[in-house]
Chain A
């Protein structure tokens, strides 16, 4: 029998974040790579906030998230809600609940649909409420309309701060890309990781020190120029240049795609798939966040493309297209600071066109048509031997893309595409499925390398000798001569051949 309460149910409404809170409250955030999180810490610290990234989510967080929120969550919700709650619980044991509620606030991205990503807060709120931490403050930054002050006036996500945050995330993408292209070929184990740590610290300092003008034009000019961050990237490159590598080791290249959280993080939430693949002898082609940012711009552009009858439609469309061009130009500038080694970002119109026969680009939710577009792009443009698609259990949009991939596989039966459902606690099933396809990918990489040697007219020892003679820097643009594998492309380049 239900009991009548004195008050009608009310949705959670956090206390405001006041200017005095800025002095004493630490903003928590998470859900990205350690590199991006460290640089975001720099951005917040430089803007006068106390900020701290949550620890990497673990299986214990998954279980906690499942325990405290409504049943049927998708796996990222359970991981992220549990991650926050476990951190707060640990802190509460040391400092007491009231102190934790007063000393921390959580900042995360939100959205206005269509998937339940925009409703994650409901799970966070319920989990916190179930622990008696109702007064803890959660703040949401709408990723489609991110700027603006939160209630209380102390937390101002100004264009200047957001601009720094975007550049920080892009710089982290660039570092990650370089790292994943070096580590599989390093001659001294751990050298790349050490270089990456040093590189990120260079950039952390630059993000912290960046002074961005408050006015719109000033923000735009700073974003395009951003001398401090660009210089830090050049310094970061030197750390990587010190890593000795042998790129003539034959390794299959595996492109990571999937749901945003799972493809981005490196840890238990995706069964440590990045490091697992490297241990299994693969070169991982990671998923940069910048593609997602460009996708958001593309999707918003489509809104105006479809509604030319609305006021300012042409202006808004032009502004969004310009923003996309500026974003990619900036990313390319960052790539150039790394001598062009980081991968070029696939263009959105390209991905949309590739996916169009199978999935409508107007469908919102999750990564939309990008999962399909990226898989076809990686396969048909020789970007990877295999695609590992990370699909969270319970993810609504992702399952639909996987369904549509049935048609793609019909049209591209030779595509090595591993759709890995990630529940968080059934690792062996996902990894064994991945391993089956990886075996085939290895054999394709080896066969491709043999063809490359044949086409270039070199033997392996001749190729090695010639590579040693060229004495090129480690961080440099790698050739693309029709093969997917790094070693095969290098041999083709040394022999001046194409596949």
Chain B
């Protein structure tokens, strides 16, 4: 689904005078937090401003080695690992690249764009995600300005990604010193290009997920829904648990990539819309009142999707140690899924250490349950969707 944002921005844009700009400018972006759901936006955005694509450089995925080498002595607080590890990414971009960057760009993401946008209260980021760059920066300037020492300009604007007009104002103001003569219209056009590329990627991911789910349902093969924050796709934070599950032969689909195809959504939610219990396919107000956090909202919606889709026999929840946004959602997410018989498992309190042994035991357990129960779960979910109460009763009794 493409979300319309700025119409005709490019049509109004005069060609900017770029003669004062460095044609070989290199922009470093830490691969952290919401960069896992918006990287194509930023790459295309900077490319549109004249930065060569190969000069938009991301830090590597989080790893023990990265953290040990680059964040020692920089961290100032004890908080969730995804935020704590920002320091390692900053350090790598400052001192760990063969070819140094000119700018370290680390946006403070106040709000995100979401397909649930008009159906929820707000699309805010988590407060630690918003302010994480301020906290990490503190460790790099406390005993002298490490950015200046590395010859790197630190640019860290507050960005409201859910509001294009405001986003353009914020980015123009923050980036004008880097791109002399940068105009509001030029930024608007770059934003449009950014979202276009991100949307194309998202649409492709959702299309692949759709095909996988269709195939699973057709062949009565169980799929697993991975529920987490975007950064749980980072191998150093999610510890590649989804790969372990995939290695057991189960397709794993991240909640962020679920299909938004109207026909499919109508099959899953149409009855509730018709009887008035839901206002739309994307309404979550009956299960989640405080719908102001973008990633939480999408996670709740994905749980509801997973609870209803017949091919999804199990859901696996990922959550990092001390995640304040996840904490209030543990019970609702589990209850949403289990109400329709979907198996629910969780890996909570994920931290720097990869718990390989326990992950293996848990994946074997998940695999065992799926082998044993997935057919009945899928049949029952299909019966629930088609309104076949008798079949649901029979299948539920056979469980007991």
User: Which residues of A are interface residues toward B (Cβ below 8 A)?
Assistant: 1-5, 7-12, 70-74, 110, 112-116, 118-123, 126, 306-307, 309, 358-360, 362-366, 394-397, 399-410, 421
Cross-interface CB contact of A4 among B169, B332, B341, cutoff 8 Å: B341
Find chain B residues with CB under 8 A from A122 CB. 290, 328-329, 331-332
Query: Closest residue to A391 on the B side, CB-wise?
Result: B77
Shortest beta-carbon distance, B84 to chain A, in Å? 9
B135 at the interface (CB under 8 A from A): yes
Find chain B residues with CB under 8 A from A408 CB. 138
Find chain A residues with CB under 8 A from B400 CB. 3
B240 at the interface (CB under 8 A from A): no
A421 to B79, CA, bound (A): 12
A405 to B339, CA, bound (A): 46
A293 to B76, CA, bound (A): 29
The interface centre, meaning the residue of B143, B169, B328, B396 with most chain A CB atoms within 10 A of its CB, is B328
Query: Closest residue to B292 on the A side, CB-wise?
Result: A113
28 CB < 8 A contacts A-B: A1-B373, A2-B344, A4-B339, A4-B396, A8-B339, A11-B288, A12-B289, A110-B290, A114-B125, A114-B292, A118-B290, A119-B328, A122-B328, A123-B328, A307-B166, A359-B134, A363-B131, A364-B124, A365-B131, A396-B128, A399-B77, A400-B128, A403-B131, A404-B135, A405-B138, A406-B135, A406-B139, A409-B142
Find chain A residues with CB under 8 A from B348 CB. 71-72
Shortest beta-carbon distance, B333 to chain A, in Å? 9
Find chain B residues with CB under 8 A from A116 CB. 324-325, 327-328
Give the 6 A-B residue pairs with the shortest CB-CB distance, closest first. A403-B135, A365-B127, A406-B138, A400-B131, A122-B328, A113-B292
A115 to B166, CA, bound (A): 22
Find chain A residues with CB under 8 A from B136 CB. 403
The answer to whether A114 and B138 touch across the interface, beta carbons within 8 angstroms, is no
The answer to whether A115 and B369 touch across the interface, beta carbons within 8 angstroms, is no
The answer to whether A115 and B127 touch across the interface, beta carbons within 8 angstroms, is yes
Interface residue ranges of B354-392 to A (CB < 8 Å): 369, 373, 380, 384, 392
A249 to B143, CA, bound (A): 38
Query: Closest residue to A393 on the B side, CB-wise?
Result: B322
Find chain A residues with CB under 8 A from B76 CB. 402-403, 405-406
Q: Would A11 and B287 be within 8 Å (CB), given that A2-B341, A112-B121, A402-B76 are in contact?
A: yes
A5 to B335, CA, bound (A): 10
Shortest beta-carbon distance, B115 to chain A, in Å? 19
Find chain B residues with CB under 8 A from A359 CB. 131, 134
Query: Closest residue to B326 on the A side, CB-wise?
Result: A72
Find chain B residues with CB under 8 A from A404 CB. 131, 134-135, 137-138
Find chain B residues with CB under 8 A from A114 CB. 110, 124-127, 130, 292-293
Find chain B residues with CB under 8 A from A1 CB. 343, 369, 373, 399
The answer to whether A309 and B165 touch across the interface, beta carbons within 8 angstroms, is yes
Find chain A residues with CB under 8 A from B285 CB. 11
Shortest beta-carbon distance, B312 to chain A, in Å? 13
Find chain A residues with CB under 8 A from B323 CB. 72
Query: Closest residue to B289 on the A side, CB-wise?
Result: A11
Find chain A residues with CB under 8 A from B122 CB. 112-113
Cross-interface CB contact of A72 among B143, B324, B335, B399, cutoff 8 Å: B324
Find chain B residues with CB under 8 A from A360 CB. 108, 131, 134, 158
Q: Would A113 and B293 be within 8 Å (CB), given that A360-B158, A363-B131, A403-B134 are in contact?
A: yes
Q: Contacts A112-B122, A113-B121 given; 9 further ones with Cβ under 8 A?
A: A2-B337, A2-B343, A11-B288, A120-B328, A122-B331, A360-B158, A396-B324, A399-B77, A404-B134
Query: Scoring B residues 269 to 304 as 1 if CB is less than 8 Å from chain A, else 0, what string do you get?
Result: 000000000000000011111101100000000000
Shortest beta-carbon distance, A373 to chain B, in Å? 13
A346 to B142, CA, bound (A): 26
B88 at the interface (CB under 8 A from A): no
Q: Would A11 and B332 be within 8 Å (CB), given that A358-B138, A399-B128, A405-B138 are in contact?
A: yes
Cross-interface CB contact of A396 among B126, B292, B332, B341, cutoff 8 Å: B126
Q: Would A7 and B339 be within 8 Å (CB), given that A1-B369, A396-B324, A401-B131 are in contact?
A: yes
The answer to whether A363 and B324 touch across the interface, beta carbons within 8 angstroms, is no
The answer to whether B341 and A9 touch across the interface, beta carbons within 8 angstroms, is no
Shortest beta-carbon distance, B292 to chain A, in Å? 4
Shortest beta-carbon distance, B307 to chain A, in Å? 8
Cross-interface CB contact of B110 among A70, A309, A363, cutoff 8 Å: A363
Interface residue ranges of B131-183 to A (CB < 8 Å): 131-132, 134-139, 141-144, 158, 163, 165-166, 169
The answer to whether B77 and A402 touch across the interface, beta carbons within 8 angstroms, is yes
The interface centre, meaning the residue of B108, B307, B339, B392 with most chain A CB atoms within 10 A of its CB, is B339
A394 to B293, CA, bound (A): 18
Cross-interface CB contact of A397 among B127, B138, B165, B341, cutoff 8 Å: B127
Shortest beta-carbon distance, A352 to chain B, in Å? 13
The interface centre, meaning the residue of B110, B135, B139, B344 with most chain A CB atoms within 10 A of its CB, is B135
Find chain B residues with CB under 8 A from A400 CB. 77, 79, 83, 127-128, 130-132, 134-135
The answer to whether B142 and A71 touch across the interface, beta carbons within 8 angstroms, is no
A7 to B340, CA, bound (A): 8
Find chain A residues with CB under 8 A from B337 CB. 2
Shortest beta-carbon distance, A425 to chain B, in Å? 17
B207 at the interface (CB under 8 A from A): no
A70 to B342, CA, bound (A): 21
A118 to B290, CA, bound (A): 7
Find chain B residues with CB under 8 A from A115 CB. 127, 324
Shortest beta-carbon distance, A362 to chain B, in Å? 4
The answer to whether B128 and A118 touch across the interface, beta carbons within 8 angstroms, is no
Q: Would A119 and B130 be within 8 Å (CB), given that A112-B122, A360-B158, A407-B137 are in contact?
A: no
Query: Closest residue to B344 on the A side, CB-wise?
Result: A2
Interface residue ranges of B90-108 to A (CB < 8 Å): 108
Shortest beta-carbon distance, B303 to chain A, in Å? 9
Find chain A residues with CB under 8 A from B137 CB. 404, 407
A394 to B323, CA, bound (A): 8
Shortest beta-carbon distance, A328 to chain B, in Å? 26
A156 to B118, CA, bound (A): 29
Cross-interface CB contact of B336 among A9, A126, A397, A421, cutoff 8 Å: A9
A409 to B286, CA, bound (A): 47
Shortest beta-carbon distance, A312 to chain B, in Å? 16
Query: Closest residue to A120 on the B side, CB-wise?
Result: B328
Shortest beta-carbon distance, A151 to chain B, in Å? 13
The answer to whether B158 and A362 touch across the interface, beta carbons within 8 angstroms, is yes
The answer to whether B399 and A3 touch across the interface, beta carbons within 8 angstroms, is yes
Shortest beta-carbon distance, B281 to chain A, in Å? 15
B47 at the interface (CB under 8 A from A): no
Cross-interface CB contact of A2 among B126, B326, B342, cutoff 8 Å: B342
Find chain A residues with CB under 8 A from B293 CB. 113-114
A274 to B331, CA, bound (A): 37
A309 to B163, CA, bound (A): 12
Find chain B residues with CB under 8 A from A8 CB. 287, 307, 336, 339-340
The answer to whether B330 and A70 touch across the interface, beta carbons within 8 angstroms, is yes
